[in-house]
Structure 1
Amino acid sequence: MWLLLAALIVQTISWSLAVWHHPEWAASNPKLDRLAKLFIFIAVAWFLGGSTRNTLLIWGLAFVGWLIATFAYGNGLEEWWAGLNGKRAGLGYRNAQHGSMLFGAALLGLIAFTARFSRVQGRLVPWRIAVSLVLIGICLTGISIGQTRAVWLGLTLAISVAAAMWLIQALLRSKNKPAHLARQLIVFASGLLIVFIAVTVIFQGTLKHRLLQESPVVEKLIEGDVSAIPYSSIGIRIHSWRAALEWIEERPLVGWGSEGRGLVMDHTPWFPTEIKERFGHLHNYFLEVWVAYGLLGVLVVAALAFWVGRGTWLAWRGGVMPNDMALFAVAFFVYWLVVNQFESYIAVSSGVYVQNLVLGGLVTHIWRWQHVSGHRVFMHRWSRQK
């Protein structure tokens, strides 16, 4: 709540100074929802009541709802079929990146919780494993037809970090059970590898095309000639980041107000007219916050990330947050940090939806840990006094 208050104050300060410094560009009001919507998770966490079961249920329902939405909105099956035939599909979103991002977040959840879902009373159930693999395959397909390189990069890094942490924990827990650990590794890795190979073979042409498409941009970057970078997908991002840094340099502490990202795109003189007409954002959420609200806004977002991260670790260490949920939290943090470097997901409805659902589930466990640990401290002090 203190961070929410800080977000409201920072936005008000930035808007007030914008009205004073450049009134012709300032918004008619401070638009406090821009940062306040990052805190919707407070209501979600309260609703979940500290329950792991409730958290997994609402996350599962959210995933099922998203799957249904991909068929109910847009062109439904036709869009899926077009994606399978190599066309980039948005699955109901105007921008295909958002559908790909949602499937990426869902994939991390499926990987993290497949072991939990696949077991009944400690035993693996074949049909449950099959269902998990089918759902993972659907997510990989959705990610592939979305053709979003930032999501591919984010997932690669997130899964790598999570896999390394899982392996370390598994080795520490299974020092005297090498056979049990080996079976777990073989079953998990084999199933995931089969699905991954199948998707790679099916979408080999698409993957190769998207990865090689930006080679001219890479060449210019290597040469150091940034101004000559073509306005391709990655090129537009690099130019918008370059422009954002120029504007940040002028007002680094308090920013330009809530309209900052639009000002950068509309009033940077060296931007081509076509780019100004097509885009109104900077393809990087953290730069957008810095342009709009200065270093004060960035510190609020960083403080929120630190508080949730630290609380998640403490809740896990205190035995309140399950291992698989903590592992998902780590993977999601890496994924979310990466993808928002290339697209401002947190600033739009899809990102607000994902972030507040995930943070709500994590924070409800943090509050539960705070309650349990506070109760333990109280009982310890009471017993000593007694």
Structure 2
Amino acid sequence: MISTFSSFANLFKRRLPEQQPTWLILLGILSVTVYAFSRTGFPDIARIGSTLAILTGLWGLFKYGKIVNSHILLRFIWIAVIIQLTSWGLSQYVTPEWAEDIPKLDKLTRWFVFIPLAWWVAQRQSAIWLVWGAAALGILVSPWTTGGGFNEIIQGINGSRIDFGIRNAQHTALYFGTILIALCCFTKPLYEKNKYLLIPIGLLIVYCSLVIYINESRQAWLALLVTLLSTTTYLTIKSVKKASPKKQILSITLFILGLIALSTLLLNNDKVVSRVMVEKEAIMAVASLNFDDVPYSSFGIRLHSWVAATDFIKEKPLLGWGSNGRGLVMEHTTWLPNSIGDFGHLHNSYMEILVNYGIVGLIFYFSIWIIIGKMLFKQIREGNIKKEIGYLFATIMCFWGVMNCFESFMNFWTGVFYFNIFMAGILSKIWRASHQLNIKNHLQPN
């Protein structure tokens, strides 16, 4: 009996990461990779992979993860539960006729699936590229797994909007735009590793650019434009500070010429101009602050639903209406046409968080990016993580941030998958860097 109790106690005894069995590490990495690749095209397989990765990841983090600083992230899960319970409880008290019968605790907690996934990705140096590469590959082959293959691409070139069966065009543009940004961030280090890698990288950049162009998602065009301008402005300022007067003039001149060339290219592109001018009437109405005159176009539908949401936000600004808040806006705003109510969401992640969980919920969301970002850039400044990862984090944060202004990605599986795979890779780099630093400090003589 004593021996059995001792064996049971040892099962839950915490150990070092180096004491993990190899088979468990390989199983964890494999399950995350399968999930990353199959989620867009083979959801049933992805469900098995994600379940296995999450369960084993939580066990691995508990059993062997004492050395990594996961406490603040795990506390986020408890905070998410508390926010959802409090919001639901207040709704039951203040507006019980509109409150849900039981609280839905998965709306915020599913944002943190990346924590157990990151544990497995951190176990091997190359695992991050395996997982991110698998996710990118699953998206790149989507025309032949969920879409219409070459026929759909040809239809897009001929003027039809395409989405490859990934929910809708906005979600497809989010994925391909992210891969395009990642390729640009890592072109230089990959070229330095092997100059012949420029050939496949160049082909993939052309492929992703073509998809985004014929996809005709204006929010993706805007998000990429904002990301490009922000990045080039930062890099220009950075180079000017370190350069001689002659090189400063050259950098500024090239930056201005680049802006002129980009503006000329966009203004003379019929597809871009025609897509933007569709919203001319809505843009003019907004510019003149006549919101009531905004037509119910694609942008107009979004704007009117946001205006409707503000009335609900004003009533419960701190903790919102609960997980069904966005639905209440669409169902109980009498002046919205029924056709808009059928959408069931607000086409804006930030508005939906405000309606559902109030200012507290929105601050909570941004704090995730802030905490992860601070941890990442601390390791970059100390030289433990390469700066390209920092560029990727900053550019994706910009691109993702703009995209979420026009679509409720955080409330669809596409956005949750995107967020968790990306954050799993970033957190794995942080954990791996801090773990290696701890080992280095431990081995140094006193």
> Is 2:92 the counterpart of 1:19?
yes
What do residues 254-308 of structure 1 show as CA deviations (whole Å, max 9, x unaligned)?
111100001101111110122112x111111011011011122112112111101
Distance 1:373 1:74 in 2: 45
Paired letter, 2:199: A
Say which structure, 1 or 2, has more relative contact order (CA 8 Å, 6+ apart).
Answer: 1
> Is 2:168 the counterpart of 1:104?
no
> Is 2:428 the counterpart of 1:364?
yes
The equivalent of 2:58 in structure 1 is none
Distance 1:222 1:161 in 2: 24
The equivalent of 2:186 in structure 1 is 113
> Is 2:370 the counterpart of 1:306?
yes
Distance 1:243 1:363 in 2: 37
Report if the CA contact (8 A) 2:266-2:273 is conserved: no
The equivalent of 1:205 in structure 2 is 270
Distance 2:93 2:321 in 1: 11
Paired letter, 2:132: W
What do residues 92-147 of structure 1 show as CA deviations (whole Å, max 9, x unaligned)?
13421110111111111010011222233xxx52x321211110011111111221
The equivalent of 1:326 in structure 2 is 390
Paired letter, 1:138: Y
Report if the CA contact (8 A) 1:154-1:335 is conserved: yes
Report if the CA contact (8 A) 1:149-1:210 is conserved: yes
What do residues 71-108 of structure 1 show as CA deviations (whole Å, max 9, x unaligned)?
22132222111111111111113421110111111111
Alignment match of 1:271 (pick from 327, 331, 336): 336
Report if the CA contact (8 A) 2:219-2:403 is conserved: yes
Alignment match of 1:349 (pick from 394, 413, 417): 413
Report if the CA contact (8 A) 1:320-1:365 is conserved: no
SS of equivalent to 2:359: helix
TM-aligned CA deviation for residue 23 of structure 1: 2.5
TM-aligned CA deviation for residue 51 of structure 1: 5.0
Alignment match of 1:67 (pick from 140, 143, 147): 140
The equivalent of 2:301 in structure 1 is 236
Report if the CA contact (8 A) 2:326-2:355 is conserved: yes
Report if the CA contact (8 A) 1:50-1:367 is conserved: no
Range 69-78 or range 369-378, more displaced = 369-378
Normalising by structure 2, we get a TM-score of: 0.75
Distance 1:377 1:287 in 2: 46
> Is 2:236 the counterpart of 1:163?
no
Report if the CA contact (8 A) 1:253-1:293 is conserved: yes
Report if the CA contact (8 A) 1:79-1:89 is conserved: yes
Normalising by structure 1, we get a TM-score of: 0.86
The equivalent of 2:321 in structure 1 is 256
Report if the CA contact (8 A) 1:41-1:359 is conserved: yes
Distance 1:165 1:264 in 2: 40
Distance 1:370 1:97 in 2: 37
Distance 2:135 2:346 in 1: 28
The equivalent of 2:150 in structure 1 is 77
Distance 2:178 2:379 in 1: 22
Paired letter, 2:200: V
- Cα 1:229/1:317, change in 2 over 3 Å: same
Alignment match of 2:290 (pick from 194, 202, 225): 225
Report if the CA contact (8 A) 1:112-1:327 is conserved: yes
Distance 1:117 1:372 in 2: 24
TM-aligned CA deviation for residue 20 of structure 1: 2.2
What do residues 135-175 of structure 1 show as CA deviations (whole Å, max 9, x unaligned)?
00111111112211111111112122233444556677888
TM-aligned CA deviation for residue 27 of structure 1: 2.0
TM-aligned CA deviation for residue 230 of structure 1: 0.4
Report if the CA contact (8 A) 2:313-2:320 is conserved: yes
SS of equivalent to 1:25: coil
Distance 1:216 1:307 in 2: 41
Alignment match of 2:280 (pick from 179, 190, 215): 215
The equivalent of 1:91 in structure 2 is 164
Provide structure 1 residue ranges, at least 5 long, that are not aligned to the other structure. Answer: none
Distance 2:236 2:126 in 1: 25
TM-aligned CA deviation for residue 40 of structure 1: 1.1
Distance 1:166 1:361 in 2: 24
Distance 1:172 1:374 in 2: 35
SS of equivalent to 2:141: helix
TM-aligned CA deviation for residue 369 of structure 1: 3.7
Paired letter, 1:224: L
Paired letter, 1:282: L
The equivalent of 2:204 in structure 1 is 135
What do residues 192-220 of structure 1 show as CA deviations (whole Å, max 9, x unaligned)?
xx9x99x979x933222111110001111
Alignment match of 1:152 (pick from 191, 215, 221): 221
> Is 2:311 the counterpart of 1:285?
no
Range 208-217 or range 164-173, more displaced = 164-173
The equivalent of 2:64 in structure 1 is none
Paired letter, 1:35: L
Paired letter, 1:159: L
Distance 2:300 2:87 in 1: 30
Distance 2:442 2:236 in 1: 37
Structure number with greater Rg is 2
- Cα 1:70/1:200, change in 2 over 3 Å: farther
The equivalent of 2:8 in structure 1 is none
Distance 1:52 1:347 in 2: 32
Provide structure 2 residue ranges, at least 5 long, that are not aligned to the other structure. Answer: 1-73
